[in-house]
Structure 1
């Protein structure tokens, strides 16, 4: 009976946030299951406790820098000059979910990729998964700018048109059951409609193959207060009985508003390589505010830090020449060095405005992180069913939007006059970006931008 109740928890359509928060209460002894309303309303643990339980360095190495290096070096030759974008936070949420439904080697590999030793106690496992759930909850709940209105970017050189949208706000799980606007996804999505204001959204769900709980477009326009338990249990159990194939969907969306004024954005040339360039909408920031930056001689790259909010920031890495030497330099240790040695200074910043969406399989992203069993025929999902199940699909899809902060056109505060020529940092050639949580150092999204117009 306890196992059947555990199956209910896993197989219901849920956001990863709710899944992790709910499932955190499960232990090896599932005879006593926590009440979901208590877990959903439980207070977040203090940040110091979260940081102590997460091995951020191990997470960044296994889920950020190793997958990036694999994508940059082992892809087909014709793909090596394309954009890369994936989410280590999304990978962590998917692995946490897999660790809840798998056993033996499949579970051990998932936990090791999350920074847990092979001989970790169940208490340590629960503490780490709970800390990860709390961190994701904090990031998705508190990061966001409310509802914003979409504006057409057609004709700006960014290579994208208007972003469709419906009125929704930053995702927030309160445990309260509210009505869902069933017609939201069916509305006409045209220019001028409101655009999602939440900066960070993460979704992971497990379901039978061919019956996705939500596709990526629905995930993006998902209402704020959607019940996590609105799928029929009988239907899900029937689906599981009729199929031996599972699918794990893992979606991430991030909207990063940069501290630039829209009125200063103009079309500029972006050099793809020695012979080819494209026109992009280039944002501009003058030297009236200090910027954290440095030049790394070992990596031959300029590093600029731009803040998205009180805790989310980007490291923008602009190589002096070719991109590959900088890619060879990437590591968690190097990122720590950059964060520790950034210095305030004044510089003009020119940075492209773009929207990029990429999709990979979790198997390909995690191949060098030791996670293989769960994707093989030997996968053990007896945590949810005694039936032999196979993970048939595991897509990882990420979208990143970068645009100006919505400043009103108006005069700036008085500043001290400086008649020296300020340095200018122009991201008009391929570069790397790392979006991270400044409190923990955990990488949330990572990628390289070869062509900002390649949606």
Structure 2
């Protein structure tokens, strides 16, 4: 049975925290806890309504982060998981206080005059619950783990809140043996990403006292698979001077699509089995910058409302790309500075304010390809007339959004500049 699939989307966001002084890491009473999101949200109503309070801000953050990640010259592939980065930073905000907390939440595009901090954490709790809903044909698992130095004494309310709100847990680790600690974290990530991300940490400072790991694993099958026999060699035009040979998948069928004349681009929605769909966005040659500048949640909403079902011959390259990002640099450019400085206040974690984020790393992996035999390669859902359909060929740089349609959350976002670049 042939099934064309996007089998793997893997993200790991890693935050390293170091301490200025260990003299007071013993302060693990809960007197510093001014709010308890767990109590605030013990009687939540509709989970979807709760998570929809945070989704618009998550979407704004996704596009803000994208602009930072895509600002490199010459253009490179971009691929990351906005929802996973947001969840990791919101968890960090749970343990932050004062301006450190405010900066993180505002960096996540929340307007704190219109949404309460407790609503934010409650919204993430419901979002994580809905994304891993049982019965879905999509395999999606997401979670957070805090690797904490054995000398740290985390507050009980913090441990309870990360477990209840972020499906997180804390693991006691000896960072003084940095080689063993690095192996422990890398092995954990390898296990959670089904062996696909082998080494998230290349080095680990012995002064590190806590590492926050957030992972997401996603596997889904196309609703209408491509025929493996149709895959052929073709050229992908990276820019005016460079073309690379790729494996191009082809399918003649019906897709929801829209042609945006104002932004000079074509939008094609490809559904997966389940409540997830990919939006492939192909700008006319030379129009990528214009498209990127116009990329907002309103633009995407307009595209989705304008989608109509058309027959087309769709050409999409097989992909295997990854993205690794220095979150510290990007977040500081977005105004999140205190948590990385001597002014950091992360006293909500241990009661000790003398701790800061020393390093933040994010890695994501995307694979799109066929798998299996030819037997069920062509979908029987579409009855095609004999007329020749228009050809839509993704053979030059394009954008990609993978959206959970039930929650309207952007799971993954990317720009494919060169499909052969690993």
Aligned with residue 394 of structure 2, among 409, 418, 427: 427
Structure 2 counterpart SS, 1:126: helix
Q: Which residue of 2 aligns with 1:57?
A: 56
Unaligned runs of 5+ in 1: 8-25, 147-168, 174-201, 225-241
Q: Does structure 2 conserve the Cα–Cα contact (< 8 Å) formed by 1:261 and 1:405?
A: no
1:299 aligned onto 2:323: no
Greater strand proportion: 2
CA distance, structure 2, for counterparts of residue 278 and residue 412 of structure 1: 30
CA distance, structure 2, for counterparts of residue 355 and residue 204 of structure 1: 31
1:16-73 Cα distance to aligned partner (Å, 9 max, x none): xxxxxxxxxx97356x988xxxx9xx9996443234432x222211x21112112223
1:446 aligned onto 2:416: no
Q: Does structure 1 conserve the Cα–Cα contact (< 8 Å) formed by 2:403 and 2:411?
A: yes
How many Å apart are 1:109 and its aligned residue?
1.5
After superposition, residues 25-424 of structure 1 pair within 5 angstroms as: 28=34, 46-54=46-54, 56-61=55-60, 63-73=61-71, 75=72, 77=73, 80-119=74-113, 124-142=116-134, 171=141, 210=178, 211-212=181-182, 215=185, 218-222=188-192, 243=207, 245-258=209-222, 259-287=225-253, 290-322=254-286, 323-385=288-350, 386=352, 388-404=354-370, 409-410=375-376, 413=380, 416-424=383-391
1:187-240 Cα distance to aligned partner (Å, 9 max, x none): xxxxxxxxxxxxxxx99989869435854564243399xxxxxxxxxxxxxxxx
For structure 1, which segment, 390-399 or 357-366, has the greater mean C-alpha deviation from structure 2 after superposition? 357-366
How many Å apart are 1:358 and its aligned residue?
1.2
Unaligned runs of 5+ in 2: 1-25, 144-166, 195-205
1:87-146 Cα distance to aligned partner (Å, 9 max, x none): 11111111111111111011111222344433467xx32232122122123323548768
Q: TM-score, normalised by structure 2?
A: 0.72
1:437 aligned onto 2:404: yes
How many Å apart are 1:435 and its aligned residue?
1.3
Q: TM-score, normalised by structure 1?
A: 0.67
CA distance, structure 1, for counterparts of residue 249 and residue 319 of structure 2: 10
How many Å apart are 1:398 and its aligned residue?
1.0
Q: Does structure 1 conserve the Cα–Cα contact (< 8 Å) formed by 2:33 and 2:348?
A: no
Aligned residues: 353
How many Å apart are 1:264 and its aligned residue?
2.6
CA distance, structure 1, for counterparts of residue 231 and residue 404 of structure 2: 27
CA distance, structure 2, for counterparts of residue 204 and residue 272 of structure 1: 43
